[in-house]
Structure 1
Amino acid sequence: MMWRAVLILSLPALSLIMAHDIGRLRKTLAAGNVYALFPDDNGYSQAAQAYNGRFIIGPIAIAYPKNAEQVSTTIVAGAEQNIRVVSRSGGHSYIANGLGGKNGSLVVDMSNFSNLTLDSSTNLATIQPGLRLGDIALMLNDRGRAIPHGHCSTVGLGGHAAYGSWGFVSRQWGLTLDHIVSAQLVLANRTITTVSEDNNPELFWGIRGSASSFGIVTYYEFSTVAVPEEGTYFVYDWNVSVAEASTFLTSLQGYVQSGIPSTLGIELRLLRGNIAGNLSITLDGAYFGSHDSFTKTIKPYLDALVPPGLTTITQGNWIETVAALTYGTLNTSTQAPINDTFYAKSLLTPEDSPLSKVAVDALMSYLDTAGFRTTDVFWFVEIELYGGSNSAINTVPVDQTAFAHRNKLFNIQLYATSVVPPYPKDGFAFLNSITDVIISNSPREWHYGAYINYPDNRLDDWQDLYYGSHYARLQALKKKFDPSNVFSFPLAIEGDTPLN
């Protein structure tokens, strides 16, 4: 899914940019040797293009610092004119937060921060936020090590690690942020500091769940794990009736609580059926036990279902399996930029209150009826396994990090794409109705949540759904470390003095 567009700034965007002293901003950045692109510079339009074609945003400038001191200079250059400052690593934000999420931000692009080192005596890896996940996997694998992360190879580490970062090894090793040992970041007052359990532990707590609200991370230090010797990537496909589709989800809930090993990571994907009355279903995931034990592990679930129409099993070592689940390409330098035009939502379901049969049946019925009629977007509902037996995600005490969701079973990602702009209005209503169907058929006190790495800027009660019981504590940190709200963007922790 690729598109190209020329950025044409709207009158409000131009007026917002012109309200600031551009010459002064240029001069301050130049004095600090910080390269930057402004709206009238060649290359600005391409650099300001959002990953999601729903958003056309005009930053006041895009800066490309090369070290922490230049990041500090850039933050000061924005703050002294009350310009919102945001960091961008891979640029894959669903709501263009890497561009500020709205017009007039100063973007600190971290693509020059792309180094990785590994201390062989401690197996601690120092990784800068501009590195992409595929390259991180390759570099660490060369040393026999790994960290948990998602399976989209071109995503940048910065935002991914800041807010959670689920992947197929998360049940075995935890989230990416669970492996952060320390981090260097530049604060709103331009101070360069390192945080850890021993140095400013409260801020260290806050960056593991909302780092971008408090500063710009220039490197993370991670604990690493030895790579598994064997792995299996698996894909099973079906076209089934609505009644059969319900069995796929109800059986999955029982199966994942039945003592499955932590080495199994899975997701169930629901799609438009080939005919009315049917749904297409895909089960895929990764297993990092022995090749011989995979069939025995997955068999109890498959036995509860009709035989799949298509089966693809890819087995190899660790890095071969990771490459397979990222469609075979980990070296991001060989990949062309990918863009899409879409709306996405998420729903984290509580482990102690699984989806009821009534909710599952209502979901499948809605996807068959409204989903089959919805033809102006391609949609899927992806049910990712977070919890279940032996999940490392849920063994972490909820207050150990700012990430608030340690008692969830599934993360349900809802995604609808028109591929190219404009995005149709009924695409929003369709996805919102899916979550409404699930919630309205669940208990009144059903403690669901939402996953901020799949951000939805149209969500009203986002503070509670994304940050849960931690929001007040995060606001206290915001008041202490960013009282002027320099780091401001949609879904950021709110300060007392919002900027324009």
Structure 2
Amino acid sequence: MRFGSAFLSLLVLCYTAIVVDADLISRLQGVSGRFTFTYPGLANYSAAVSPFNLRYSYQPAAVTYVNSVQQVSEVVKIGYDLGYNVVARAGGHSYAAGGLGGKNGSIVVDLYSLATMGTSGDGAIADITTGFKLGTIAGNLWDQRRALPHGTCPYVGWGGHVATGGYGFTSRLWGMAHDRVTSTQIVLANGTIATASKDVNPDLFFAVRGAASSFGIVTKTTLLTLPVPNSTTTYEYGWNLNINDATTAFQSYQSFSLSNPTPPELGIELLLAKGSSKGTVTFMLSGVWYGAAGGLDTAIKPLLDIIPQKPVWSNKKVGTYLDSLKSLAGGSLSVTAPDTHDTFYAKSLITPNDSTKQVLAPAQKEFMTYLANTGFDSKLEWFIQIGLMGGKNSAVNSIPSADTAFPHRNVLHLWQLYAYTPNSAPPFPANGFAFVDGMTDAILRNQPADWDYGAYTNYIDDRLANAEQLYFKQNLPRLKQLKAKYDPKGVFSVPGGVKA
């Protein structure tokens, strides 16, 4: 891929969206080994910069396709030398198009071909490069009857997922994905290939477990896997509730999450959606029981007993761990078909595991009133997931907050508030942002001014005020110091990241 200066000059004149940098192209042409890239003006560029969330249309300076950690190092060094922002793209599922830089003019390092996986110790230790998608990792581990905690969408890239979180229904039992990491290989801002572990660069090891995208490009993770459960039970219970009953049911879920010594084998979330008529809300409890068949009934009965009505519908299915993964993924873990896109806006909340700092009754009532009325009238489709991340017996809360950049170790619920266009295609309406903001506003304006809530980086919100503080909480000062040490020029700048 070599072009003369006349051709590059023509692109500078004709491609008005972003200026093509001849120095950058020349340097990229010198990267070693089998290496390809694209940039504005080439025929394959538009497909290369297609985002998951179609609200965005960022135009990187170049998209590079690497096949080795050495190539990652060389590309990062080029960005460092020429003053570019450099970002990694694994699955491309960033809510704010972080894999395209979150702005124009970045260098994208596409990790798709950096996909190798090996295990040792009968599968107890896994080495996973960051170009893999969750579906492939889960399927490969299942072949050895091993597993890791992670989310449910098979197309999500491992690199981004493990970099800043890795929450799923198994997290109460096994922790976050990055909690299983024992070592990482990472390319730093100046192109240096480094190791981060408990014993080697321990300060960097702290940073990469929860804020890795701000410190480098992780190319490989070494993790301790877990044996799969002998049995799983996927389940759902559903209601269509009026405002008063929905408010009471929410309080029941909150009280159950706080006071009941819930077994860690219970993965559960509350799902809220548009009701069947104005003034109502669809209220659903769903998840996976990772214990012995039949144990779900005992674990969830205390909650069902305090919901105002009997469920209108319910489903339970006992199967293998693989069955549960496929069910949560919509039927298959395969990632061979083209991925889908959406046009959406999402926010998050993380609430504290403290009975004195919970969502108060006025907030609950205003929230359910907003969903039942404004939510019903909205032309957008929407859902809200309120997962039990912490509470008693949760592995997430068993780790001290100072051990990882991910700071939320006294957590109760993780909220995702998500609205999307009915056909998943652009445009996203301007009033859609205010609609989703109204969901969180109904909670926040009824809580004390010093309420200790947070937000989750994997549900990134690039409109969020005070984002750094909400994402990293008490760990932010230390992360700022480490950013100054490892990336003082701000080579790795991503939406929701630690700023230089």
TM-score, normalized by the shorter chain, greater than 0.5: yes
Q: Which moved more, 1:113-122 or 1:451-460?
A: 113-122
Task: Name the % identity.
Answer: 41
What's the counterpart of residue 307 of structure 1? 310
User: TM (normalized to structure 2)?
Assistant: 0.94
What's the counterpart of residue 318 of structure 1? 321
What's the counterpart of residue 286 of structure 1? 288
Structure 2 contact 65–113 (Cα < 8 Å) conserved: yes
What's the counterpart of residue 344 of structure 1? 346
What's the counterpart of residue 393 of structure 1? 396
Structure 2 contact 18–59 (Cα < 8 Å) conserved: no
Deviation at 1:330, TM superposition (A): 0.7
Structure 1 contact 32–73 (Cα < 8 Å) conserved: no
Deviation at 1:436, TM superposition (A): 1.3
AA in 1 matched with 2:267: G
What's the counterpart of residue 179 of structure 2? 178
AA in 1 matched with 2:211: S
What's the counterpart of residue 41 of structure 2? 40
Deviation at 1:19, TM superposition (A): 5.3
The whole-number CA distance in structure 2 between the counterparts of 1:146 and 1:15 is: 45
Aligned residues: 484
Deviation at 1:294, TM superposition (A): 1.2
Where structure 1 has 5 or more consecutive residues not aligned to the other structure, the ranges are 1-8, 496-500
Deviation at 1:361, TM superposition (A): 1.1
Write the mapping of 1:295-444 to structure 2, written as runs, cut at 5 A.
295-305=297-307, 306-333=309-336, 335-352=337-354, 353-375=357-379, 377-418=380-421, 419-444=424-449
- 2:92 is the counterpart of 1:91: yes
Q: Which moved more, 1:470-479 or 1:103-112?
A: 470-479
Q: Which moved more, 1:269-278 or 1:163-172?
A: 269-278
Deviations 1:90-131 (A, max 9, x none): 000000000001111110000011111111267110011111
Write the mapping of 1:477-488 to structure 2, written as runs, cut at 5 A.
477-488=482-493
The whole-number CA distance in structure 2 between the counterparts of 1:160 and 1:356 is: 32
Classify the secondary structure of the residue corresponding to 2:394: coil
Deviation at 1:11, TM superposition (A): 11
Structure 2 contact 122–144 (Cα < 8 Å) conserved: no
* Closer/same/farther in 2, CA of residues 427 and 13 from structure 1, 3 Å limit: farther
Classify the secondary structure of the residue corresponding to 1:171: helix
What's the counterpart of residue 6 of structure 2? none
The whole-number CA distance in structure 1 between the counterparts of 2:299 and 2:494 is: 44
What's the counterpart of residue 273 of structure 1? 275
The whole-number CA distance in structure 2 between the counterparts of 1:203 and 1:12 is: 43
What's the counterpart of residue 498 of structure 1? none
Classify the secondary structure of the residue corresponding to 1:17: coil
- The list of structure 1 runs, each at least 4 consecutive aligned residues, that deviate by more than 6 angstroms after superposition, is 9-13
Structure 2 contact 34–67 (Cα < 8 Å) conserved: no
Deviation at 1:10, TM superposition (A): 13
AA in 2 matched with 1:54: R
Deviation at 1:16, TM superposition (A): 4.0
What's the counterpart of residue 117 of structure 1? 118
Deviation at 1:15, TM superposition (A): 5.6
Q: CA RMSD in A?
A: 1.8
Structure 1 contact 25–78 (Cα < 8 Å) conserved: no
The whole-number CA distance in structure 1 between the counterparts of 2:485 and 2:127 is: 27
Q: Which moved more, 1:340-349 or 1:472-481?
A: 472-481
Deviations 1:334-389 (A, max 9, x none): x33110000000011111112112211111011112112212x1111211111122
- 2:28 is the counterpart of 1:17: no
AA in 2 matched with 1:356: L
The whole-number CA distance in structure 1 between the counterparts of 2:427 and 2:59 is: 18
The whole-number CA distance in structure 2 between the counterparts of 1:18 and 1:397 is: 47
Deviation at 1:316, TM superposition (A): 0.4
Deviation at 1:247, TM superposition (A): 1.8
The whole-number CA distance in structure 1 between the counterparts of 2:297 and 2:13 is: 60
Structure 1 contact 13–58 (Cα < 8 Å) conserved: no
What's the counterpart of residue 135 of structure 2? 134
Classify the secondary structure of the residue corresponding to 1:284: strand
Classify the secondary structure of the residue corresponding to 1:73: helix
Deviation at 1:82, TM superposition (A): 1.0
Classify the secondary structure of the residue corresponding to 1:18: coil
Where structure 2 has 5 or more consecutive residues not aligned to the other structure, the ranges are 1-10
The whole-number CA distance in structure 2 between the counterparts of 1:169 and 1:65 is: 32
AA in 2 matched with 1:381: I
Classify the secondary structure of the residue corresponding to 2:442: helix
Q: Which moved more, 1:226-235 or 1:478-487?
A: 478-487
Q: Which moved more, 1:75-84 or 1:128-137?
A: 75-84
The whole-number CA distance in structure 1 between the counterparts of 2:22 and 2:437 is: 38
Classify the secondary structure of the residue corresponding to 2:385: strand
* Closer/same/farther in 2, CA of residues 325 and 217 from structure 1, 3 Å limit: same
Structure 2 contact 84–106 (Cα < 8 Å) conserved: yes
What's the counterpart of residue 452 of structure 1? 457
The whole-number CA distance in structure 1 between the counterparts of 2:14 and 2:52 is: 22
Structure 2 contact 209–405 (Cα < 8 Å) conserved: yes
* Closer/same/farther in 2, CA of residues 203 and 369 from structure 1, 3 Å limit: same
Structure 1 contact 238–309 (Cα < 8 Å) conserved: yes
Deviations 1:441-463 (A, max 9, x none): 11232100000100000012001
What's the counterpart of residue 52 of structure 1? 53
Q: Which moved more, 1:305-314 or 1:114-123?
A: 114-123
AA in 2 matched with 1:372: F
* Closer/same/farther in 2, CA of residues 20 and 213 from structure 1, 3 Å limit: farther
AA in 2 matched with 1:58: Q
AA in 2 matched with 1:371: G
What's the counterpart of residue 6 of structure 1? none
Deviations 1:478-497 (A, max 9, x none): 111112111122222111xx
AA in 2 matched with 1:289: G
Structure 2 contact 183–221 (Cα < 8 Å) conserved: yes
The whole-number CA distance in structure 2 between the counterparts of 1:422 and 1:25 is: 37
Deviations 1:284-333 (A, max 9, x none): 10110011111121122112221222212121011111111111211212
Classify the secondary structure of the residue corresponding to 2:348: strand
The whole-number CA distance in structure 2 between the counterparts of 1:232 and 1:157 is: 26
The whole-number CA distance in structure 1 between the counterparts of 2:210 and 2:69 is: 22
Q: Which moved more, 1:121-130 or 1:314-323?
A: 121-130
Deviation at 1:42, TM superposition (A): 2.9
Deviation at 1:40, TM superposition (A): 2.5
The whole-number CA distance in structure 2 between the counterparts of 1:143 and 1:331 is: 18
The whole-number CA distance in structure 1 between the counterparts of 2:286 and 2:338 is: 25
The whole-number CA distance in structure 2 between the counterparts of 1:285 and 1:309 is: 17
User: TM (normalized to structure 1)?
Assistant: 0.94
Deviation at 1:148, TM superposition (A): 0.4
Structure 1 contact 132–154 (Cα < 8 Å) conserved: yes
The whole-number CA distance in structure 2 between the counterparts of 1:142 and 1:321 is: 15
Structure 1 contact 100–107 (Cα < 8 Å) conserved: yes
* Closer/same/farther in 2, CA of residues 10 and 389 from structure 1, 3 Å limit: farther
Classify the secondary structure of the residue corresponding to 1:291: coil
Deviation at 1:41, TM superposition (A): 2.5
